[in-house]
Chains A and B, each alone.
Chain A
Amino acid sequence: MNLDEFTLLVALGSLVAGFLGSLTGLGGGVVIVPLLTLGFGVDIRYAIGASLVSVIATSSAAAAAYVRDGYSNLRIGMFLEVATTLGAVGGAMVASRIPVSAVAIVFGLVLLWSAFLSLRRPAEAAPNTAPDRLATWLRMDSTCPAPGGPVAYHVAHVPFGWAIMAVAGGLSGLLGIGSGALKVLAMDQVMRLPFKVSTTTSNFMIGVTAAASAGLYLHRGYIDPALAAPVILGVVIGASLGTRALVGARPAALRRVFVVVLIALGGQMIYHGVTGGFARG
């Protein structure tokens, strides 16, 4: 395959990944690495580098719209970004010290786990009404726009949420993904934020988290420009088409199809990791 054909196919594949990722709300980043490694035979280090920069692009583009809507909470985001950026740097350091087959196996497990998470979407918990001392001191409590006027919310379990964020950052730096599902879980289930605040603040944080490890990947020579260009362009165009196609709605059937894809890719990543299929070069 020559570079023209390769670039075009990678761009199209990334476009589909970005489109489905934003349409289902599961994020496109998580399928880019399996697409490049299993589909195009790209070395997993280059694949992770390209995926990571595409995650920055989609997160920043989407966050621009969310921030204006007034859902995302800048203080919570910034406080938790201390955890995610430190975690991301740690994850990127681990990535260069363990065999690529181990990275592939962890990736496969995370894919299976995100499939599991999106299947059992828990009901939204009752709003938290009790103020928390730490959250009050950090001025995290705020209001969220609602049809009947702004609704006040209180934040709970800040240290536990922070710890989960460090793990989410670590996975992001290790695997080149956004870890959006885990970030939402921490804010929605643990810190008891309104769902809309969790999802938008999570998206807002993904770009900063990915930028922390992307700098290290760039320095290590993991980001190949000829591969990164079609991935970034494809994912961004796909994601913006996805957002435009269905605003807010999450088609259940499509979501189930995407979950099946995640399970299949997760199994393949683990299989190739175990059998040494990634141990080239």
Chain B
Amino acid sequence: MADPDGQLRRDQRIERVIGILLQTGVALSILVALAGAILYLGREGRHAADFRTFRGEPFDLRNAPAIMVAAFGGHREAVIQFGVLILIATPIARVALSLVAFAAERDRTYVVVTVIVLVVLLTGLLGIGP
């Protein structure tokens, strides 16, 4: 890039958009998780709390598509988990946005770097990995 000032200006514009994206993602996830927690406690709040024994979560609280289906179907714990899912997706969306920005700058090195990060993140989220 023969124009370092131009690069700096563009970088700053991307940074502003990324800032808004991060804030929106966190705010949204917290609102959804809070709503889910209120709904869930409304029904289960008087029951005994037991997190001493590890059982592992059921499928509809473990699998990203299943969480969304259950959340929109009114499963209260799944609503919280949907908030968690938005939270995990927020940094991933940030990386995807950076990919768009690097591609627009025709910065091949960083397009490759960003694609690697995105692939690692998505394999984790979709549970494809080992």
Q: Is A bound to B?
A: yes
CB-CB contacts below 8 Å: B65-95 with A: 77-78, 80-81, 83-85, 87-92, 94-95
CB < 8 Å neighbour of B57 from A68, A85, A93, A223: A223
Residues on B with beta carbons closer than 8 Å to the beta carbon of A218: 62, 64, 84-85, 88, 125, 127
Chain B's closest residue to A210 (CB) is B91
B30 touching A207, Cβ below 8 Å:
no
Q: Which residues of B contact A99 (CB under 8 A)?
A: none
What string of 1s and 0s marks CB contacts (under 8 Å) between A81-94 and chain B?
11001101100110
**Distance of A213 Cα from B98 Cα, bound (Å):** 20
**Given A4-B45, A42-B52, A224 contacting B88 (CB threshold 8 A):** no
Could you tell me if A208 and B51 are in contact, using CB atoms closer than 8 angstroms?
A: no
Complex: A125 Cα to B128 Cα, angstroms = 43
Report the Cα distance A180→B116, complex, angstroms: 22
State A125–B22 Cα separation when bound (angstroms): 32
Range of interface residues on B (Cβ < 8 Å): 35 or more
B91, A211: Cβ atoms closer than 8 Å: yes
Q: CB-CB < 8 A to B129: which residues of A? A: 89, 93, 216
**CB-CB nearest in chain A for B58:** A221
Residue among A41, A42, A211 making CB contact with B124, cutoff 8 Å: A211
Question: In chain B, what residue has the closest Cβ to A214?
Answer: B88
CB closest residue in chain A, given B90: A60
Q: What are the residues of chain B within 8 A of A224 when measuring CB–CB?
A: 51, 57, 61
Residue pair B20, A212 in contact (C-beta under 8 Å)? no
Residues of A with C-beta under 8 A to B51: 36, 40-43, 46, 224, 227
A116 proximal to B (CB < 8 A) = no
Min CB–CB distance B104 → chain A (angstroms): 13
Residues of chain B lying within 8 A (CB to CB) of residue A68: 15-16, 19
A142-B26 contact in complex given A211-B88, A227-B51, A228-B84, C-beta closer than 8 Å: no
Given contacts A143-B8, A211-B88, A281-B54, contact A4 B46 (CB under 8 A): yes
Give A64 to B113 CA distance when docked, in angstroms: 22
Residues of A in contact with B, size category? 35 or more
A3: B residues at CB distance < 8 A: 41, 44-49
Which B residues lie within 8 Å of A78 (CB)?
Answer: 95, 98, 110, 113-114, 117
Q: Please name 5 further chain A to chain B contacts, defined as beta carbons within 8 Å, in addition to the given A6-B49, A82-B120, A210-B91, sorted by A numbering.
A: A207-B94, A221-B61, A225-B80, A228-B81, A232-B30
A residues in contact (CB < 8 Å) with B:
1-7, 36, 40-43, 45-46, 53, 56-57, 59-61, 63-65, 67-68, 70, 72, 74-75, 78-79, 81-82, 85-86, 88-89, 92-93, 137-139, 142-143, 207-208, 210-216, 218-230, 232-233, 236, 280-281
